[in-house]
Amino acid sequence: MKLTDTTLNKNAKSDDVRPRLVVLTFIAIGLFLMLISRLWFMQVMAGEKYMEMAQGNYIRSIPVEAPRGIIYDRNGQVLVDNRPSIGVSISPAVVENNPELLETMSDVLRMSVDEIKERLAEKKSDPLKPRIVKRDLDDKTLANIEEHKMALPGVDIVTESTRGYPHGELGAHLFGYLGEISDEEMAKFKQTGDYLLGDIIGKTGVESVYEGLLRGQKGSQQLEVNASGRPLSVIRDEDPVPGHNLMLSVDLKIQKAAEQALKDAINRARSGSGGRFTADAGAAIVLDPRNGEILAIASNPTYNPELFIGGISKKNWNELMAKKNNYPLNNRALMAYPPGSTFKPVTMIGALEDGLITVNDTFNCTGKWYGLGKKWAKACWNHAGHGGIGVLRGMAESCDTVFYVMGHNFHKDGQERLQYWARELGFGTRTGVDLATEARGRVPDKEWKREFNKSNPEYQRWYPGDTVNIAIGQGDLLATPLQLAAFYGAIANGGMVYRPHIGKAMISWDGNVKREFKPKPEDKKRLPVSKDIISYTQASLQMVIEQGTGTGSFNGFPIKVAGKTGTAEVRGKDDFAWFVCYAPVDEPKFVVVVLIEQGGHGGSTAAPAARQILAAAFGLNDQGAGYVYDPSR
């Protein structure tokens, strides 16, 4: 095949390429005009918009957290405050470009790489925001970081305000702890505040209930950052506004006494000569019966709320949730338990009001009660029997036979009136206390039993023994220590039930009261019980201390006390020890409830703890009653 070079073809026409050149020229001119018009649009018409976008590439606004309000006791003593903390922060954006930084900081901070990664990844907020990976640096670590600062890009020393707990674990269940806001909480607070993912909020206790008051208003900081996101300079600062301070009704002195008394009671139950019990937990409450103010609320085992500062580690969280540690996050003052004999005043009040017994009735206790037939005989705790016994002494000595008869009378009446009275006197419903996670308790009836056993029809029937068990505070009945405190407070003051509350006032930063949390009309109600029966109940509870099951624990105590022991049976566990009382008898100022899980008998374990708390509340130098043995239930 022969190839021909047209450029050498002298016969080719010169105007063959001209149309092409014309087209190319017009295309070039069109593209140039389009470019010019686009530049004109960007510079003139949309210049301001693109300037803002350009600035956004190197200016970032970082929210600055506001200090939370300080929490005081009723006398102005600091319970929870804020303290300065020197920590170290690392920028996640810098770590992405310098992964070797993690190994270096692991050596400097004496933390594992995984721990540092956990801290860097735990926040859901702005990815450019530096994460504090360690707080409260010691002087040696601080000096080491400062000395090698140029070799540690994205690492900064920061000073922040963090929650301070000057009394350590004291009141942990009362105050609660802080934690990172969840998606569910974000939705809840969407209309109520400027919350962002990654914000720290109150999770439990008063920190949660009074979140809106304690939380301040955020500030902001505008930073100039480079292409990798590292801050270069501060452009503008807007200071945050601190949260409001909160005064509680709690008395620090009484709170300390309650927590110490709980520890002592648990140790006493574990090592006492009257029997060694598991005694693995407990609760104590002190309430003012004149207004419902909570003066102390303690739960054991407890925890250190400082563990949650900056986010709790997986290791610490797993320990708090471990069964072997008996779930220290639980506030047992608000949990529900079988109340045992501390419920007997409810049974007596209902039976007297309904005319099922009279104050003059007598009963014959032989140690066994056969009211349901020999096949279902029930024992009194005193197996030898109390003999002939009246209602007053029946309460004083906690005679089960007396209350079996009352319970049986309720059953024969057929109207579930014992359940009615339990609910009227505050059981089976929340008290409305300004603390989170309060249990309702349970007042079982026919409907509840049918529903509870819907998968087991053979267990749905309500038997006479079910009502009889409720009458002595057993069976499926459950009550919280706080419910008992509110009920006994109403007996103490003559019949008025006050909603228990912990918040007292909002305090300004100069120490003045800005707003008192005064009770509303719906925060109190009068028991539907006659004055005579209230007075009779008071006399029966006073007799418990003077001549009954509480005598040994209050022997020699200089102030008159009225109360009730209780020993609740729980299947598969040691007995739960209860004691509820109020003092002074004539003008009650304090109601005390003590519960020791698996602590044995109420008079032996719980009552001495109540005496210890009352002594502190009254400012007495009391040595206690020494060893006390109470076999009652």
Q: For position 56, what pLDDT does the model report?
A: 47
Q: For position 122, what pLDDT does the model report?
A: 60
For residue 35 the two structure tokens come to 């470019």
**CATH number assigned to the domain covering 252-320+330-618:** 3.40.710.10
Q: For position 10, what pLDDT does the model report?
A: 46
The predicted model gives 231-256 an average pLDDT of 90
Q: For position 485, what pLDDT does the model report?
A: 98
Question: Which of the residues 85, 89, 341, 632 is marked catalytic?
Answer: 341
Say if residue 125's pLDDT is above 90: no
State what percent of residues in the chain have pLDDT above 70: 89
pLDDT in tens, 378-408: 999 999 999 999 999 999 999 999 999 999 9
pLDDT in tens, 67-118: 899 999 999 999 999 988 888 888 887 887 788 888 888 888 888 888 888 7
CA–CA separation, 402 and 389 (whole Å): 8
Q: For position 53, what pLDDT does the model report?
A: 46
Q: For position 1, what pLDDT does the model report?
A: 42
Listed residue (246, 261, 564) closest to 403, CA to CA: 564
Helix (H, G, I), strand (E, B) or coil at 263: helix
Mean pLDDT (the chain) is 89
Say if residue 231's pLDDT is above 70: no
Is residue 341 part of the annotated active site? The answer reads yes
DSSP string computed for 229-245:
--EEEEEEEE--BPPPE
Say if residue 7's pLDDT is above 50: no
The predicted model gives 152-160 an average pLDDT of 83
Beta-carbon contacts of 125 under 8 Å, excluding residues fewer than 6 positions away, are 196, 197, 198, 199
| Phi and psi at residue 400, to the nearest 5° | -65, -35
pLDDT in tens, 433-483: 999 899 999 999 999 999 999 999 999 999 999 999 999 999 999 999 999
Beta strands in 520-575 (DSSP E): 524-526, 562-568
Q: At residue 426, what is the residue type?
A: G
Beta-carbon contacts of 278 under 8 Å, excluding residues fewer than 6 positions away, are 270, 573, 574, 597, 598
Beta strands in 490-625 (DSSP E): 496-498, 503-507, 513-516, 524-526, 562-568, 576-583, 590-597
- Domain(s) labelled CATH 3.40.710.10 in the chain stretch across 252-320+330-618
**Which class in CATH covers the domain with range 61-248?**
alpha beta
